[in-house]
Amino acid sequence: MHPAPTSVTSRRIPLEFAMPPALSCPCPPDPSPSDPSPSGPFRPVRRLLPRPARRLVLHAATRAAACLTALCAALLALLISPVPASAAGSGPCDLYASGGTACIAAHSTVRALYGAYSGPLYQVRRASDNATRNIGVTVAGGPADAAAQDSFCAGTTCVVTWVYDQSGHGNHLGYQGPGGVGGSDTPAKATSESLTVGGRKAYSLYINAGNSYWRDGHSTGVPTGSAPEGMYMVTSGTHVNSGCCFDYGNSETTRRADGPGAMDAINFSKSCWFGGCSGTGPWVQADLEWGLYPGGSTSWNPNQRAYTNKFVTAMLKNNGTSRFAIKGGDAQSGGLTTLYAGSLPGGYSPMKKQGAIILGSGGDCCNGNTNLSIGTFYEGAITAGYPSDATDNAVQANITAAGYR
């Protein structure tokens, strides 16, 4: 793994602080009657005490001073010693768990989504010999180890074959093609776009037409039927089109368009599915199957807005029976905008989710057909349960604090 960055971090020293053996006071031994009498600032003691008592007092004072000096040095070393950057706090999925809606899938090519996560983020395969390598984080809870990818892919090209699930549910996303999870697509090139997160280099999952990822997670925690769920992703408003369909979320296990409510996924694109849209997007919409919904109906939602900025937060949550909400924001600063919060469209209650996970394409892809959309994926997660607005806001604050640049 790439060496961890260091920063000077102060540490609170408890009142009951006890120095470890390695830092114990190098105090002088107890004085003996043969020790010479010290001089200096303690000389006036001679006038007050007989010589033997004076020796004991002066040597005790010297010993105490030595101990105090050693203690101060030890404390100073602790206070100024560099502390490696680590999970200094919570990731988005820690926040979801605190809110009672734990992540059942957590994916990213740029950083850990849990404060304690230290496993792999994704896998790359190089063209020169078809060898593969897992790319992890520089430190638990930290950014991706892009240097490991650069070293492994030097002098050749690499593609992203797997995006690993950090939640522990095993919902890893493989590319939809031969050698992956099966299908007609190909893996995305691993070096199309670099960025920095928290000042460290990382690579996005840069989806072009013909790239997509999928997982059948119906037996590994992904909500099915009318079970409530939430999800978010960080994407980009600079690499988009109107092709169907740049999605992240819950999809069909059949990889067919199985009717209203079979999907529940974030869509980020310029696609104006039902017509009447204002502007050219891109917009955060809900792919519920048989339509990309800007709000609660096929009519254009006047609260919709385009997100053309470099880094975009897109959110969707659905209680499975009556309500859903769409939110968007700038992933570099500020809060979320609620684009829609209300009733499900007619014909979508209850939801009929199948529990697969899609990334980069629509649900009826890509087994016999190919993905037509383009888009960028940095991170995202899916939760079991309907997250609160307070949790949504906390996750957005965590994203903006991550330092996307």
**Unique residue bearing structure tokens 């430190």:** 139
In which element (H, E) is residue 135 found?
A: strand 132-135
Residue 371 burial (C-beta neighbours within 10 Å; 0-12, 13-18, 19+): buried
Q: Is residue 74 within 8 Å of 19, Cβ to Cβ?
A: yes
Question: Using CB atoms within 10 A of its CB, is residue 287 exposed (0-12), middle (13-18) or buried (19+)?
Answer: buried
241, two tokens: 């089109």
Please, are residues 114 and 141 in contact by the beta-carbon 8 Å criterion? yes
Instruction: Tell me whether residue 229 is one of the annotated catalytic residues.
Output: no
**Whole-angstrom distance, CA of residue 253 vs CA of residue 155:** 38
Q: Which of 252, 289, 330, 379 is catalytic?
A: 289
What residue type is assigned to position 306 of the chain?
Answer: A
Distance CA(37)–CA(225), nearest Å, equals 88
Strands 292-293 and 283-287: antiparallel
Q: Which residues contact 175 (CB under 8 A, 6 or more apart)?
A: 159, 160, 161, 162, 181, 183, 185, 186, 187, 188, 211, 212, 213
For residue 175, give the amino acid letter. Answer: Y
- Asked if 112 and 392 count as a contact pair (C-beta separation under 8 A), the reply is no
Specify the residue for token string 């995305």: 188
Contact assessment for residue 240 and residue 246, using Cβ atoms and an 8 Å cutoff: yes
Q: Cβ distance 404 to 234 under 8 Å?
A: yes
Establish whether 35 is a catalytic residue.
no
d(CA 77, CA 313): 41
Of 185, 216, 264, 364, which residue is the catalytic one?
A: 364
Contact status, residue 343 vs residue 319, Cβ threshold 8 Å: no
Residues catalogued as catalytic: 289, 364
